[in-house]
Amino acid sequence: MLEYHQQSSREIMEMLDVTNQGLNNDDVQKRQEVYGLNKLVEGKRPSTFAVFFGQFKDLLVIILMIAAFISFLLGEVGSTIVIMIVVILNAILGTVQHVKAEQSLDNLKALTTPVAKVMRNNQIVEISSEDIVVGDLLLLVAGDYINADGRLLESHNLDINESSLTGESLAVSKSTDPIDEVHVTIGDKRNMVFTGSFVTNGRGTVVVTAIGMETEIGKIANLLDTAKQKKTPLQVSLDHFGENLALGITMICLAIFTIDLFRGRELVESFMFAVSLAVAAIPEALSSIVTIVLAFGTQKMAKENAIIRKLYAVESLGSVSVICSDKTGTLTENKMTVQQVYVDQKVIPYDLLNTEKSIEKNLILMALLCNDALERDQKEIGDPTEIALVKLGKQYELDELFVRSHNPRVAEIPFDSDRKLMSTVNHINEQNIMITKGALDVLLSKIVKIDTSKGIFPITEEHRKKIEEVNRSFSMNGLRVLAFAYKEFNGNQTIEVEDEKDLIFVGLIAMMDPPRKESKAAVESCIAAGIKPVMITGDHKITATAIAKQIGILDDPSEAIEGYEIEGLTDQQLQEKVQNISVFARVTPEHKIRIVKAWQDKGNVVAMTGDGVNDAPALKQADIGVAMGITGTEVAKDASSMILTDDNFSTIVKAISNGRSLYTNIKNAILFLLSGNAGAIFVVLYATVLGLPVPFAPVHLLFINLLTDSLPAIAIGLEPHNKKTMKDKPRNIHTPLLNKKFTTQVILEGLLIGISTIIAFRMGLATGDTLTASTMAFATLCLSRLIHGFNSRSKESIFKIGVFTNKYTWLAFLIGFVSLHAVLFIPSLTGVFEVATLSGVQLAYIYCLSFMPFLVNQWYKVLFVRSKK
């Protein structure tokens, strides 16, 4: 049998049993039943069980289990049972957190599954790429990722980048001709396309020949390890910090262990105490708290139209100091309507054209022919710029499909934001006519004649000046201008970029794309937050300046430059200049990379938006690459770290604000955990140095650290978004979270908790009963840490942020409070947890002392905020 590349497209269609109308629903269903979904098999995920058992791999847990075993050997079965219960409960808690976090990250991932356009039932439909079946007709345009292998049926200047398969970074130009040879390498199969490659230029139609693991990449790929989420820089540094801290604490524990032995305490008792102190002091949950907070946070952001693709982006979001944003569709609505037309050397409002006059009608016809958009049943398909032209046609009862069917297209060069032009060749009145539309500044140099109602004349300098003047006056009103030109084309059925010359000018069409309502406020909020908004657009400088002024991005026209001006600057010069520029017009994707780099070299963290295939390198270069969810190509989405589902600039600003809050919440949760641990260490050190009895039984420390601690930490991580974060300047990305100020805060807050606990301990000791003393110390440490959860919500006083605004902190507090009282008062538990029966007065003391760190903390915050004012 012949290979696919050897056969003609007709033979392949017959073999795969598909017509030009595509498959019907029955075909699709049957094929899906036989071949399954178009998916590469993913690496297997650990089951919930495996996750649960994974919790026991932690070094501290292993030490605890050894301790439990030793207790068992020594006949202390009670301790063994308690330790095992605590360890198992801790593992359950860890598993629930892990599974919950994975679920929300999965939901996030599901929002970004790739889509494909296919022809089915004679209609173009967009489907999830997983649903592609063998025999489907795939429609490809520039910027599409290819998600199946297939044979080309139609190709218009189709270039495909196959670097992921062949390593060749240059795009390959494709054609539909069969290839005779049998053994051809992937790179030489010019009439086939493959999963994992993407379209850089042109358009084409492909019949799918293989899906899923049967594709070329499926055959060579190992199992995809998509299940694994990389750790974020913050998590890595926390892990690192945790390791160092663990080392330090182990030393302290060893010292305490030795001192205890020296003072004549029993070996096992001393050992158990040292182990539990280690568990109490080492913040093993740091990294997992960050994961769960990030997972919940990103889910919330997705609901607000910002889908985070790379978790580490959330951390950088709070440090963004420059947003480079596209104009069209991001700052503006991307709803274009034609306003003015310049034809036959006159400016005419859009609704006063006269189609009786052939030149005016011809301009509209050209606008419909050199155009891929359509409008049917009030549904618009295609580029908004072109839709505006279709609507103009409708206004004069010229239907785009009717016009196109009577003047069929024979060749085309699609629109490209680098060239800023689009050309088609149409068969009109027995003649082939090439129509070119695009930016006037690019087109004008290719024009040699001008069409008027009096005939066609060579274009004079005066004509050019007049056209440019009209173009400028349109642009100054914020209008986007398209120029139209044509010529008779006698070449064969293909056209090249070089053919775009010796054209005859017909006219200009100017359209309005109003700024989005939210843009102005979002720009204001950016500036207040110390973030510089910059407009980067392919549009004309004057149009861009007019819109930028309306939304407050630019004050002075000198803040706008054009892409070509960048070309004359060295990187160093651009760096110096970039800070004073708010609008970059007529920019190509290559300029975008230089602009991002210049800002970055000046020490900024840059968010950059993009939609086209050529934007991918700039999106990757930016610290936060932001792709458009609606108009963005699959390639741009793939290169980005965040996708806007509404393409809206204000969503970026909201995401930054969310990113800032999330980072603060994570920081507060860590502060809560570390300061509580520090409190416990201070008490133990105090007792050891003064030679007092041991303040806590091991089980007390395990209870606090493994059971009542993580819920408040998560609750703090879920603190509602604080709008005030957008009044601060961006966080310096190089300032480590665990800096001097933070460490001092941990120590001071730990001291407050420690002092309360020591007072409670000493009161207990005064009764002469060490069990009462340790019970009072335990209860105070536990309760003061639970109450301290409210302190850690914000650097502001709780009365300012609202006592009840975070219901999770209340829930976490209540669960901890009830658990503590269960341990203190349920008779069957008091023995197990080694607690004495407390009197009402003692309990009252415990409440008061536990409240003390909270009072001091809040008093300080109230004063601090006042003095700041």
Q: Catalog residues that contact ligand ATP under the rule CB under 6 A.
A: 326-328, 383, 385-386, 415, 417, 420-422, 437-439, 480, 482, 537-540
Tokens of 526: 């950016």
Rounded CA separation 206/192 (Å): 8
Instruction: Give the Cα separation of 149 and 828 in Å (integer).
Output: 67
Distance of closest approach, residue 420 Cβ to ligand ATP, in angstroms? 4
Give the list of residues 6+ apart from residue 103 with CB closer than 8 angstroms, or none.
Answer: none
Q: How far is the CB of 614 from ligand ATP (least distance, A)?
A: 10
For 578-642, what is the HEC assignment?
HCCCCEEECCCHHHHHHHHHHHHHCCCCEEEEECCHHHHHHHHHCCEEEEECCCCCHHHHHHCCE
Residue (of 704, 664, 699, 743) closest to 293 by Cα position:
664
> Phi, psi at residue 294, to the nearest 5°?
-65, -40
**Nearer CB in complex with ligand ATP: 212/538:** 538
Other C-beta atoms lying within 10 Å of the C-beta of residue 556: 10
Strand (E) positions, 688-846? none
Q: Would you say 481 or 777 has its CB closer to ligand ATP?
A: 481
By beta carbon distance, the residue nearest ligand ATP is 538
Residue with Cβ nearer ligand ATP (189 or 437)? 437
Question: Shortest Cβ distance from residue 663 to ligand ATP (Å)?
Answer: 30
CA distance 401 to 368: 9
Minimum CB distance to ligand ATP smaller for 132 or for 508:
508
CB nearer to ligand ATP: give 159 or 386: 386
CA-closest candidate to residue 471, choices 557, 374, 375, 539: 539
User: How many whole angstroms separate alpha carbon 204 and alpha carbon 197?
Assistant: 14
* Distance (Å) of CA 145 to CA 164, 404, 544, 709, 716: 12, 29, 31, 46, 41
831 C-beta neighbours (distance < 10 Å), count: 10
Burial class (CB in 10 A: 0-12, 13-18, 19+), 343: buried
Q: Least Å distance between CB 500 and ligand ATP?
A: 12
Number of neighbouring beta carbons within 10 Å of residue 459: 18
Q: Considering the complex, what minimum distance in angstroms separates the CB of residue 211 from ligand ATP?
A: 33
Which residues make Cβ contacts (< 8 Å) with residue 641, sequence separation at least 6? Answer: 308, 309, 310, 312, 313, 624, 625, 626
Q: Which of 326, 372, 513, 638 is catalytic?
A: 326
Q: Which is nearer to ligand ATP, 31 or 437 (CB)?
A: 437
Please tell me the distance from the alpha carbon of residue 813 to that of residue 809, in angstroms, as a whole number.
6
Task: Write down the least CB distance from residue 598 to ligand ATP, Å.
Answer: 18
Residue 326 falls in the annotated catalytic set: yes
Closest CA to 331 of 538, 547, 526: 547
Q: What gap in Å lies between CA 277 and CA 702, rounded to an integer?
A: 8
Min separation Cβ 444 and ligand ATP, Å: 12
CB atoms within 10 A of CB 721: 17
Q: How far apart are CA 181 and CA 190, in angstroms?
A: 12
Nearest approach, Cβ of residue 620 and ligand ATP (Å): 17
Least Å distance, CB 383 to ligand ATP, is 5
Point out the residues that are catalytic: 326
